[in-house]
Amino acid sequence: MRESSRFPKRPLAPAAVAAAATALAVILAAFCLFGGAAGQASPRDEEAFTRKRMIMVDEQVAARGVRDPDVLKALRAVPRHLFVPPEYRDEAYGDYPLPIGEGQTISQPYIVGLMTQCLGLGKGDRVLEVGTGSGYQAAVLARLAGAVYSIEINEKLSRRAAGTLKGLGIVNVSLRSGDGFFGWPEAAPFDAIIVTCATERVPPSLLDQLAEGGRLVLPLGDSRSFQTLTLIVKKNGKLVVRDILDVRFVPMTGGRERNERQKHG
């Protein structure tokens, strides 16, 4: 941020001083939140990002079968470019995942839309997300559900996501740094659970925390190769399982999950 060498010859009116202070606070917040000058975007840049976001939703998500109007509206509203590192911002609306640091990625837009649609969310629903990552999926969920609880095992990513969500004024997401394998028992039961990392089996704790009629979507299978995106619905205490499509996610990295992988070779 550059300082100006010009100063007004007369004192500013109180209203002007207040407006200037507010503008400066917004600039400083953006500077701290998004990594300095590289994170700032001009109004023209924001317009370009908005156009890219509309195209992303129409051509990458809706065209592939995600038709829930509320999901599409949420994807159009959430500024995906603010959830990726500055060096990848111009690629934020591309049809592929992107690195977010710490060996993790932000999922392909279509996958975010598809998994969200599978949850069939209502305004009063309580949702658990395992694998906060950048916070983008949580931001989308927050526009559809009443309360979102999101767990991220990497504390650095969790703090960064918290800052991004706070900067966007999203207040119905609760974050925790910890092992998502065990869920969030004190906030259960959940109407929907989404797991954004690969696991070879469904964590029993997540099934226990799923409400009757609840939906659980997760990438299930060998975390070293491809998995099957799977939807599980709890009906009358029983689990109804449906395969959606083949996907590839980064593995769940909790201690319990590592132990399970070692046991099964």
List the catalytic residue out of 4, 5, 42, 107.
Answer: 107
Tell me the CA end-to-end span of the chain in Å, nearest whole number: 53
User: At residue 43, what is the residue type?
Assistant: P
Nearest 5 degrees, angle CA 153-CA 61-CA 113? 30
Q: How far is it, in rounded angstroms, from Cα 142 to Cα 122? A: 11
Sign of the alpha-carbon torsion through 70, 109, 240, 147: negative
Rg (CA), the chain: 20
> CATH assignment of 96-263?
3.40.50.150
- Residues 120, 216: contact at Cβ < 8 Å? no
Structure confidence at residue 255 (pLDDT)? 53
| pLDDT one digit per residue (tens) for the chain, 265 residues | 333 333 333 343 444 434 434 333 333 343 333 333 334 568 889 999 999 999 999 999 999 999 999 999 999 999 999 999 999 999 999 999 999 999 999 999 999 999 999 999 999 999 999 999 999 999 999 999 999 999 999 999 999 999 999 999 999 999 999 999 999 999 999 999 999 999 999 999 999 999 999 999 999 998 788 999 999 999 998 999 999 999 999 888 875 555 555 555 5
CA distances 264 to 74, 152, 219, Å, are: 39, 25, 18
Structure confidence at residue 159 (pLDDT)? 97
Q: How far is it, in rounded angstroms, from Cα 239 to Cα 223? A: 23
Structure confidence at residue 22 (pLDDT)? 37
Question: Among this protein's residues, is 42 annotated catalytic?
Answer: no
Instruction: List the one residue out of 188, 193, 190 whose CA is nearest residue 231.
Output: 193
